[in-house]
Structure 1
């Protein structure tokens, strides 16, 4: 954890955690008094300020422990998908805001139908082109710029609900409690590939608690019952019981060794954990064996993104963050710099 005060209520930046303070910050940013700061429809801020604030909001959740330069160099995809909305004009051309107009999806068919004086076919092609443009515009591809962050080993453990925060998952990996494809792995920066299986030591998981506490509570209750019954007995009964106990003590019977049954672990969820109990579609967990499989890379389809985020996957915050990284792209990685990759570096 880079900052000890990551759950500051004044900043109210949501993080990858199940903490009660983080839940309050999430409510404050989405529905609470600070929700107006993420609405840039009517804002007196400059375009640079809006982009920078959006980048700050998004990066606070998606890998805030990763340095900015390292994130731009190693965790941004090689090509960022265009998230700017496209508008199809009546002539059949598709134009995006901030870019020159280009030929649309069905522009050639529309021009050919008009030249052949087939107005019905031209209207049908225009309608099909508009539907295709709306479908492409409604796909929240902007959130896919955090796909490489979701491939990280520590983030994967947090998504599997094996840890209450990404910082705790990182600690499990560094302490050698996690195995990747059957081999102990201590580098939380490792990127997973489809088909990789990750297992966690059940004894190190904070969500698994031994039932020893419940057994101790039952023993204490029995002891209290015996003391109360001893106090309520009469003196004659107590004297008779003392004589019987003395006779038993004179001739002690051999004690049979009692075998302690191994207590089974039990899942114990912390308070306010219900909003965070979900597993993305690209993960196949097995809570009985404390393991999970990374099935495939996360993707997006019209109206839905598989990358969890506290902000709208196709909203203003995500689009302004995309514009920030589109303008501040890092330089290309050379062969001499590949050894500095966080995946190959020591944890």
Structure 2
């Protein structure tokens, strides 16, 4: 963790964490009193101040553990996808052919639906490279309760990438990569220390025990009070003898206690309090909680009205747009060979380089064989 005060209630900056303080900060920043600071409907602040504030709150959630210079150099895309409608070229027979093939009506209906949804929120795609990081990937898979815990799992050697132990938390995954986590290293699989925690799977049993204890205590209190209708000792002896005789006749073998059907096959999870808002899986991840592994299926994308990159702010709102405008003017794009050598590992880039190298070697082999045949 870079800063001990990352969950400061005074600053109220949401982070990638399940802690109750972070949930309160999320409320305060998106729906509470702190929301006014990022609602730029008045002219009280300059354009520079609006962009600066937007950049600060967005970077607090998306990669606050990444150095700002490294983020601007290696994690920002060149451009965002252009989702504006393309202009139609007049003077060809494409329109008449589409009308003849009954495609024009379908395209018009599809265009109306997309117009209702609006354009795709591509502003959030500026963080697509951050989502490819292996530590962010583990947090999105719900294998760690915070991004800082996910980095600890990777650095301490509890994570395998494609079956091989991997300890570089800066690695960016390629589509098809499988990441596995050692179950013994996942903290919410183990009961934490403290009296404020309880097993959610045994909640019903805990409630029944509590009710039985209270009923027993109430019965003991009632028995201590004098009862005017209590029988005499002689009458009580006759009643006890009669009950013992009936009990001996109807006595049945005691039933063996069997475990409840609901307790069979359950995995004990000891989640932090108020963790339910964070329990979701993005569409580009295919997890398997039985084996504690997940597959990075593809890169995150966006469609009209929906973005696959989770963010506490509007995916195409003014906060994300101002943050993009800030970085467009200030990102360094000069990359020398020395800087490229320090670039965080990018498995997709490495795969493309291997493919290109394989094509070049194949081309050289073909040319060499052709030259030998000529001789």
TM-score by length of 1: 0.70
SS in 2 for 1:266: coil
Q: Which region of structure 1 is more displaced relative to structure 2, 289-298 or 202-211? A: 202-211
Partner residue, 2:30: 30
Q: Which region of structure 1 is more displaced relative to structure 2, 137-146 or 22-31? A: 137-146
Larger radius of gyration: 2
Instruction: Give the alignment of 1:46-125 within 5 angstroms.
Output: 46-81=46-81, 105-106=87-88, 108=90
Are 1:19 and 2:19 counterparts? yes
CA distance in 2, matches of 1:106, 1:42: 39
Are 1:168 and 2:168 counterparts? no
Cα deviation digits, residues 284-343 of structure 1 (max 9, x gap) = 000010000000000000010000000000111011011111111212322232111133
CA distance in 2, matches of 1:322, 1:290: 35
Deviation at 1:81, TM superposition (A): 3.9
CA RMSD of aligned residues (A): 3.3
Deviation at 1:77, TM superposition (A): 1.2
Residue of structure 2 aligned with 1:154, choices 118, 135, 138: 135
Are 1:279 and 2:307 counterparts? no
Q: Sort the Cα spacing of 1:325 and 1:132 in 2 relative to 1 into closer, same or farther, 3 A.
A: farther
CA distance in 1, matches of 2:333, 2:117: 29
Instruction: Give the alignment of 1:163-312 within 5 angstroms.
Output: 163-209=144-190, 266-312=268-314
Q: Confirm or deny: 8 A CA contact 1:284 1:293 kept in the other structure.
A: yes
Cα deviation digits, residues 262-295 of structure 1 (max 9, x gap) = x996222211000000000000000010000000
CA distance in 2, matches of 1:70, 1:80: 19
SS in 2 for 1:138: coil
Q: Sort the Cα spacing of 1:319 and 1:137 in 2 relative to 1 into closer, same or farther, 3 A.
A: farther
CA distance in 2, matches of 1:133, 1:50: 30
Q: Deviation above 3 Å: which 4+ runs of structure 1? A: 80-83, 106-109, 130-137
Q: Confirm or deny: 8 A CA contact 2:191 2:270 kept in the other structure.
A: no
Q: Pick the structure with more helix per residue.
A: 2
Q: Confirm or deny: 8 A CA contact 1:55 1:320 kept in the other structure.
A: yes
SS in 2 for 1:34: helix
CA distance in 2, matches of 1:318, 1:69: 19
CA distance in 1, matches of 2:148, 2:126: 21
Q: Confirm or deny: 8 A CA contact 1:15 1:61 kept in the other structure.
A: yes
CA distance in 2, matches of 1:12, 1:151: 26
CA distance in 2, matches of 1:335, 1:137: 42
Q: Sort the Cα spacing of 1:58 and 1:82 in 2 relative to 1 into closer, same or farther, 3 A.
A: farther
Cα deviation digits, residues 49-88 of structure 1 (max 9, x gap) = 10111010100000001011000101111223469xx7xx
Partner residue, 1:97: none
SS in 2 for 1:207: helix
TM-score by length of 2: 0.65
CA distance in 1, matches of 2:90, 2:125: 31
